Amino acid sequence: MTGRGSLAVRLASLYATMLAVVVLLVIVASSIALVFELSQFTHDIIVAKHDEARFLAETAQRDGQTLKSAAPRMIRELSGIGLDVAVFDERGKLLAGDASLHPPLLAHMIAQRQREQSHPGPGPGAFPEHREPFGLAVVQGGYVAFVPSMPLVFVALFPYWRTVLTIGVLAILGTFVVGRIFAREALRPLDDVAMALRSLAQGDYTPRTFIMGGGDEIGNLTGAFNDAAANVHQAMEERRATEDRMRRFVADAGHELRTPLTVISGYIDVLRRGALNDEKIARQILGTMTLEKEHMRNLIDRLVRLSRLDSEAAPLAERLDVAQLLRDQVNAARRFDEHRNIDYRVDGELSIFADPREIGEALWNVVENALKYAPDAAIHLRGSREDGSVRIVVRDEGPGMSELERLHAFERFYRGDQRGEITGSGLGLSIAKRAVERAGGSIEIESAPGRGTTVTIELAAAHVPSLGVPQQI
């Protein structure tokens, strides 16, 4: 993509620029060092040439030659690569060589020599032979000037510069190309993440997992995206599931409420058509309407309770005695059906932490289901301690339920195939399950046709010393 490529180019350009700066610094530093070495070398040569010039002048004088006649040969002998030479007489007149090499101090030295000849002895500003200016040799009958040739520096440095610059340019180009390749590969996860984010923005919440590049920043970024994508996907799945449950809940609630409303509406029409004048029929109609009204009220009450349990408000938990809980359920069941065989047993002193209203309603819904769907069957309630938790079991000896009914027993408004004339909302076990979950516990159901039904609730135990004395009724 353009954005990624542009970033890769910028990174590669940065690498190449850094290398170019390093190469330039190396060239400048090495050139300065080479110029210093060449200057030292030239200095040593000129010092040696001073002695050679005096030797040639003295030799010419012994041979009976003047400095003027010996000057051409001296130029040939003293000249070298990178060194220009000129011979002047005592008055500063050029005898051989290039006149442009006239040193600035030559006129001063000539005037000083003339003063020395007229007034023997060194005076201020004099230049004895052992203190002569660098590059200007005093010989018999005149002077020899030595000037380093600037092209010598360039001649010596040009091959070096050419080699280093060629290698540097190739290295910079190679760094740019290789750096761009590595940058593109390193930034590829960013491209994938950007594409995934665009898909996410368009509503595609399909989970994507990118291979993390390691413990570097890009690896941390892809790892964070993987976690965020998984969380978003999970949240969206939970949202869809919640919306599906809500749609089913509204549809089922509407259906359950529609039935009594239809019955009541129909009877109202009957009463309007004159049935109100028949006392017997009117009494039957009012009785039926009262039952439907109670059914609606019960349904609405349970919907309100279920809505309360679905809220995020924390339950008002307190320590509860399990024996008392089961005793209350037995007493309520006997008021519901005084002839029913129902008993409870608790192994020792057991306590739990839970909201008394919520957990009491959960237990009653389980017991009420047994009373309704297992007519004339014995019901047994048991409380025991199991590995740090309290297990409450409600078992009936009724007809049991099919596997399909068992699997859907905790679904809202599900009433199974044996509902017959049994009144109910299909919300009892749903409320029980939600209440137990809010208490931090779990609830399971086991059943088979002809083998009764067993509902098991497990809750965290409140730590109290157990006396090991069973309580039963």
Residue 216, both tokens: 């570097």
Choice among 154-158, 294-298, 333-337 with the minimum mean pLDDT: 154-158
- 360 lies in the same domain as 244: no
> Is residue 130's pLDDT more than 50?
no
- 236 lies in the same domain as 133: no
Q: What is the mean pLDDT of residues 372-391?
A: 90
Q: What is the mean pLDDT of residues 5-9?
A: 68
Q: What is the mean pLDDT of residues 98-126?
A: 58
Position 395 scores a pLDDT of: 93
81-95, 286-300, 450-464: range with highest mean pLDDT:
450-464
Given the structure tokens 């003027």, which residue do they identify? 68
d(CA 112, CA 126): 6
DSSP alpha helix (H) spans, 320-379: 322-336, 356-373
Q: Which of 153, 179, 195 is the C-terminal boundary of a domain?
A: 153
d(CA 25, CA 12): 20
In a domain, 195, yes or no: no
Q: Helices 2-62 and 150-201 meet at what angle, rounded to 10?
A: 170
Q: CA-based angle 357:358:363, to the nearest 5? A: 100
- 383 lies in the same domain as 453: yes
Residue length of the chain: 473
The enclosing domain of 365 has a CATH number of: 3.30.565.10
- 123 lies in the same domain as 235: no
- 19 lies in the same domain as 92: yes
Are 103 and 136 in contact, with CB atoms under 8 Å apart?
yes
Q: Which of 115, 135, 153 is the C-terminal boundary of a domain?
A: 153
Q: Which of 306, 323, 346 is the C-terminal boundary of a domain?
A: 306
DSSP-based three-state secondary structure for 74: helix
Position 211 scores a pLDDT of: 60
The enclosing domain of 225 has a CATH number of: 1.10.287.130
- 291 lies in the same domain as 358: no
Are 229 and 208 in contact, with CB atoms under 8 Å apart?
yes
- 17 lies in the same domain as 65: yes
In a domain, 169, yes or no: no
Closest CA to 182 of 18, 17, 7, 3: 7
Q: N- to C-terminal Cα distance for the chain?
A: 78
Choice among 105-109, 189-193, 301-305, 328-332 with the minimum mean pLDDT: 105-109
- At 109, the pLDDT band (50, 70, 90 cuts) reads low
Which is more confidently placed, 356 or 199? 356
Q: CA-based angle 467:470:471, to the nearest 5? A: 115
Structural domain for 342, as ranges = 315-472
In a domain, 13, yes or no: yes
Q: Between β-strands 389-396 and 442-447, what pairing exists: parallel, antiparallel or unpaired?
A: unpaired
- 337 lies in the same domain as 438: yes
Other beta carbons within 10 Å of 146: 24
In a domain, 192, yes or no: no
Position 472 scores a pLDDT of: 46
pLDDT tens digits, one per residue of 395-415: 999 888 888 888 888 887 777
> Is residue 379's pLDDT more than 50?
yes
In a domain, 325, yes or no: yes
- 347 lies in the same domain as 436: yes
- 44 lies in the same domain as 93: yes
In a domain, 171, yes or no: no
- 253 lies in the same domain as 341: no
In a domain, 172, yes or no: no
pLDDT tens digits, one per residue of 220-229: 777 777 777 7
In a domain, 433, yes or no: yes
pTM summary value: 0.47
Into how many domains does the chain fold? Answer: 3
- 145 lies in the same domain as 6: yes
Q: What is the mean pLDDT of residues 7-18?
A: 78
pLDDT tens digits, one per residue of 202-211: 777 666 666 6
- At 105, the pLDDT band (50, 70, 90 cuts) reads low
% of the chain exceeding 90 in pLDDT = 12
- At 71, the pLDDT band (50, 70, 90 cuts) reads confident
Q: What is the DSSP string of 201-212?
A: HTT------PPP
